[in-house]
Amino acid sequence: MTASDRFRADSPAAPLAVPGRRPFGERLHGAVGARGPLCVGIDPHPALLDAWGLSDDPVGLERFALGVVDALADRVAVLKPQLALFERHGSRGVAVLERVLERAAAAGALTIADAKRGDIGSTMAAYAQAFVGEGSPLAADAVTASPYLGFGSLRPLLDLAAGTGRGVFVLALTSNPEGPTIQHARTAAGPTVAQSILDAVAAENVGASPLGSVGAVVGATVGPQGAAHRMDINGPLLSPGIGAQGAGPRELREVFGTALGAVLPSTSREVLRAGPSPAGLRDAAERTLEGVRLALAGTA
């Protein structure tokens, strides 16, 4: 199976993890097939709250976040709340996050908790229980994680996610200017650090069908350096940066090449700035999705 087939191939059902729940990769494959390849971030930045006429406090946060969920959760494949922007409001902000995850699931959207957690031993195991543990109010369908204490440090998270049918997106190539200092450095074996992470992700997904549940985060704005990396990981490639951050069809093709079919583009401001009108949010999401479809098809 080629990378371009990842979200489209018909394959036998994968084995159940938690009874009644298919593995995340299979569920993502189905959601993208039904709703299209788009992830919308829920990023309640103070400036966006202000633009919506909302207060920068837990009340404004709740109106913003649940407004996005109510407008989009029944039509986009994935919603991705940015945890730091909830946590900055303390326990009341975390309570809003719990309601976001619950309401999004009830409307049929998959969720990715954009936590970017990374630690070792019992601390990593605690993060795993929080974000992919069965019964945790903070458990999303998947979580983002940082592997820069060593890929092996993620083992408690990877194992628990596999056991509960959830997914993990591992940071590999990020678009922040500081990223290349570490990500493009060469390992003793020769490949870049980012390539070693991509290879480790691919090893987690061996034999998975139709799509592995461990993905990688690769920024859509990383440029030609992205194309120098092998990205056929048999899992999804979460790609922030389209729209307001400057990436369009040309950038997606430049970075991902033949792996375009495994890409799940993610956008936030491109859609969120169309609020608070629910119709405005839906129209913006539909326009963005259409542009993404054309880009991934290579016709834009």
Q: Is residue 77 part of a domain?
A: yes
DSSP state of 135: T
Q: Is residue 240 part of a domain?
A: yes
Give the model's confidence band at 3: pLDDT under 50 very low, under 70 low, under 90 confident, else very high.
very low
- Assign 116 to helix, strand or coil: strand
Per-residue model confidence (pLDDT) at position 177: 87
Helices 90-106/58-72 angle, 10° precision:
10
Per-residue model confidence (pLDDT) at position 15: 45
Per-residue model confidence (pLDDT) at position 254: 81
Dump pLDDT digits (tens) for 150-184: 999 999 999 999 999 999 999 999 988 899 999 99
Short-list 95, 200, 103, 216, CA closest to 167: 216
Neighbours of 105 (CB within 10 A): 17
Q: Is residue 16 part of a domain?
A: no
Per-residue model confidence (pLDDT) at position 298: 67
Domain count, the chain: 1
Per-residue model confidence (pLDDT) at position 250: 73
Q: Is residue 121 part of a domain?
A: yes
CB-based contact 217:145 (threshold 8 Å): no
249 pLDDT more than 80: no
Dump pLDDT digits (tens) for 194-226: 999 999 999 999 999 999 999 999 998 888 777
Q: Is residue 14 part of a domain?
A: no
Per-residue model confidence (pLDDT) at position 221: 85
Give the model's confidence band at 13: pLDDT under 50 very low, under 70 low, under 90 confident, else very high.
very low
Find how far residue 274's CA is from the centre of its chain: 21
Per-residue model confidence (pLDDT) at position 18: 75
CATH number at residue 93: 3.20.20.70
Rounded-to-5 percentages of helix, strand, coil across the chain: 50, 15, 35
If you compute the radius of gyration of the chain from its CA atoms, what whole number of angstroms results? 18
Question: What integer is the mean pLDDT of 288-294?
Answer: 90
Q: Is residue 164 part of a domain?
A: yes
d(CA 201, CA 135): 26
Neighbours of 151 (CB within 10 A): 19
Question: What integer is the mean pLDDT of 24-29?
Answer: 98
**pLDDT more than 90, % of the chain:** 79
Dump pLDDT digits (tens) for 75-100: 999 999 999 999 999 999 999 999 99
For the entire predicted model, the pTM comes to 0.92
Per-residue model confidence (pLDDT) at position 194: 96
The parent domain of residue 206 ranges over: 24-297
Question: What integer is the mean pLDDT of 277-282?
Answer: 98
Q: Is residue 8 part of a domain?
A: no
245 pLDDT more than 90: no
Q: Is residue 17 part of a domain?
A: no
Per-residue model confidence (pLDDT) at position 12: 37
Question: What integer is the mean pLDDT of 102-115?
Answer: 98
Q: Which residues are catalytic?
A: 116
Question: What integer is the mean pLDDT of 113-133?
Answer: 98
